[in-house]
Chains A and B, each alone.
Chain A
Amino acid sequence: MTNLNVTENASEQTFDLNPAARQRLEAARQTTLRQRGPFGFSRAGLVIAFAALVLFVLPLMGLPQTNARLISQVLVFVAFALSYDLLFGFTGIFSFGHALFFGVGAYSVALCSLNLGWPMWAGAVLGVVVCGLLGIFTGFVSLRVQGVFFAMVTLAMATTAFSLSGRLVDITKGDEGLSLIQAPDAPDGTTVYYLALALAVVAYFGLSRLINSPLGRVLVAVRENERRAEMVGYNVLRYKLVALAFSSVIAGLAGMVFAFRNGIVNPGLLSTDISLLPLLMVILGGAGTLYGAVLGAVVIECLNFILSSSEFVNNVKNWAVVGPILEHWLLLLGLIYVLIVLFLPFGVVGTWQQHRQRLLGLFKKS
C-alpha cells in the first residue's frame, strides 16, 4: 500500500508510489503521447490545420470574390460557434444571448471610427475590452442564480441591446445601420478573408490549448459536477466568469470581422437569430468537442448560403409541400434542430464517437 503522510499544506502531501502503480502511470503517459500525432496535434487538430493551410493558399490561386465572401462568413461563424462551445459544451453554461457580444464587438468598431474618428485597430482593442467586461458583468449579475435563469438574463440583455441599437437613432442610425466606409479591405476581399481565417485558426488552437490546461480542466469539472468542484475548493463563480470573459472576447472579435466583411453594422447583429445560431451549430456538431462546433458552423452556414441563394429560392417555389418550408430558412433551421435533438442528442461528432465501431462495421460489410 502507498503511504500518505498528512502535512500542513496539501501541496506538501508526500507519498511513495509503489512500483506497480508507477508502471501504470508511465504506461498511461505513453498512451496519451501516442494519441497525439506529429507536432503534438490531435487528429482533429491535424485536419483543421490542413484545412487552414488550404484556405491560406486558395486566394493566391485566384479565388472568385463570391467564394471568398462565403468562406469569410463561414470562418466568422466558426469562431463564434467555438466561443459558444467553451461556455456551453465545456463549462456547462447555457446562454441564450450570445449575440450580445457579437453585436457589441461590431458596434464598438463602427461607433469608434464613425463617431469618434478612431482608427479601426483602436476601436477593435476597445471592443475587446468592452466585450470582456460585459461578459464578466453578465456573469456577475446572473450566475449566482442557476441554469435557466442565466439563459433568461442573457436573453434579456441581448434583447435590450437589440432594441437600444434600433432606437438610439442619433448614435446608431437605427435600422439603417452604420456603414464602415474605411473597412480594411482589398478590392478582391482578401483582407477580410485573411482576418477571418486568422480569427478562426487562433480561436480553434487557442481554445484547444485552453481546454487542456489546468484551468480548462476545472471548467470541465464545473460542467461535470458543480457541487463537487466547489467542495474540492474551486471558486466556481470565478472560473465561470473566466470562461465568460474568454468566450465573449472571441464572440466580439467574430462580430468585428463580420462587420468588416459586410461593411455595415445594424441591429440584426444583436438579434435572437444570431444568438440561436451558435447554439444550433454546437448542438448539430456535438458540444464539448471544439471540432463539432467547427463542423456545425460550416454545415449551417453553407446550408444558409445555398438555401437563401436566389436560384434555389426560385426553383424551390415549385416544389410541392417541402417548397414553402425550404423557402423559410429559419423554419428549416428549427426543423433541423428538432431532428437533431430527437435523433442525435450528442450531435454529429458525439454520435460518431459513441458508435464509431458500429458505423465503421457497416461500411466494411457493404
Chain B
Amino acid sequence: MVSSQYILQTENLSRLFGGQVAVNAVSLGVRAGEFKSIIGPNGAGKTTLFNLISGMLPPSSGRIIFEGQDITRRPAYYRSRLGIGRSFQMTTIFPNLTVLENVRLAVQSREPHAFNFWQPASRFGGDEETAFAILDMVMLGGRELQTAQTLSHGDKRKLEIGILLATNPRLLLLDEPTAGMSRDDVPGIIEVVQRIKRAGGRTVMLVEHKMDMVMSVSDSVMVMHYGELIADGSPQEIAQNETVQSAYLGGYTERAG
C-alpha cells in the first residue's frame, strides 16, 4: 500500500543478471527526513538496489514509489528532476571542467534557461553564486577554479556530493562515499555527510562499510545479504541482531548505542 509517511517505497523489487539474483524481492520503506544506512557484505546487491532506485537499471520485477508516484519505468534524468540524487561508488564527475563548472552545471539543470543557446552562461550569475555556496558547504571553498580531475580522491568525492546538493534532491543515495579514500580523506567526507544531516530537510540512504560512521549517523539501518533484505531497525537493534551478527557484523558491538 502507498503510505504518505514514506518518501520512498519498493515493493518486491528484484533484479536478475542472467540466472543470478542480485536483488531479491526487496520491499522497503524510507521515511521522509530519515537517515537510513544499508550495510551488507560485498556482492550483497546494495549498488544494484541504488541502480534500480536511481533508474540506471530497469528492475526485473517489482515497483518503486517515490513521493506517492510510481517511478518504476521512469528514465534516470526524470527521477533526478523529481528529487533523487545519487553518488557512485566510483566517483562520477565532469573531469576536464573546473570544480565550479561541475557544480554550476548541476545548478543550471533546474533552471528554465538550460535550453538557452544564445546568451553566455555567465549571464546567469545566480547559478555561479549558488555553486560557490555549495562548494563552501562541501569544504571545497578556494578550489573553485581548479580542473576537477586534479583534485585528490577525497575532494573529488566531496565534489560529487556537491553536484548532488546543487540539484537540491529530497532523497540522496550515497554509495560508499569513503570507499577507496586515503585515511586522511575520510574525516572530511564524514564531516560533509554530517553537515547534510545537520542541515536537515533531506532524506539520505547511505551504503557504507565504516561501522562507526554508520552507527553514529543513522536513524535506521538495513542489512542486505545475497540480494535479500534480512533486517531493518534502529542501529542498536541491528547491532544486537543475531542473524546480522553471523551474516556480516562479525561481533561488532563496541560503539553501538
Task: Please give the residue numbers on chain A whose beta carbons come within 8 Å of chain B beta carbons, in ascending order.
Answer: 1-7, 9-11, 13, 15-18, 20-22, 24-25, 28-29, 31-32, 209-210, 212-218, 220-221, 224-225, 227-236, 242
Contact = CB atoms under 8 A, between A and B. Distances in A.
A224 B96 contact: yes
Please indicate which of the listed interface residues B78, B106, B142 has the most CB atoms of chain A within 10 Å of its own CB. B106
B119 interface: yes
B168 interface: yes
A25 B136 contact: no
Contacts of B137: 1-2, 4
A250 to B, nearest CB: 13
Nearest to B111: A11
Given A6-B202, A24-B144, A225-B94, 15 more contacts: A11-B111, A15-B129, A21-B136, A21-B141, A22-B132, A24-B132, A25-B128, A28-B145, A212-B120, A212-B121, A221-B97, A225-B95, A227-B56, A227-B92, A233-B77
A309 to B, nearest CB: 41
Contacts of B104: 217
Given A221-B105, A224-B94, A231-B54, A214 B144 contact: no
Contacts of B88: 227
A234 B114 contact: yes
9 contacts: A1-B137, A4-B199, A6-B168, A7-B168, A10-B168, A29-B125, A29-B128, A225-B92, A232-B163
B109 A213 contact: no
A16 to B, nearest CB: 7
A231 B86 contact: yes
Contacts of A31: 145
B121 A214 contact: yes
Contact of B117 (A21, A24, A215): A215
A218 B77 contact: no
A15 B130 contact: yes
A230 B120 contact: no
Contacts of B125: 29
A21 to B, nearest CB: 5
- 6 closest A-B pairs by CB: A6-B201, A10-B110, A10-B168, A233-B80, A15-B133, A224-B94
B167 A10 contact: yes
B101 interface: yes
Most chain A C-beta atoms within 10 Å of own C-beta, residue among B56, B110, B170: B110
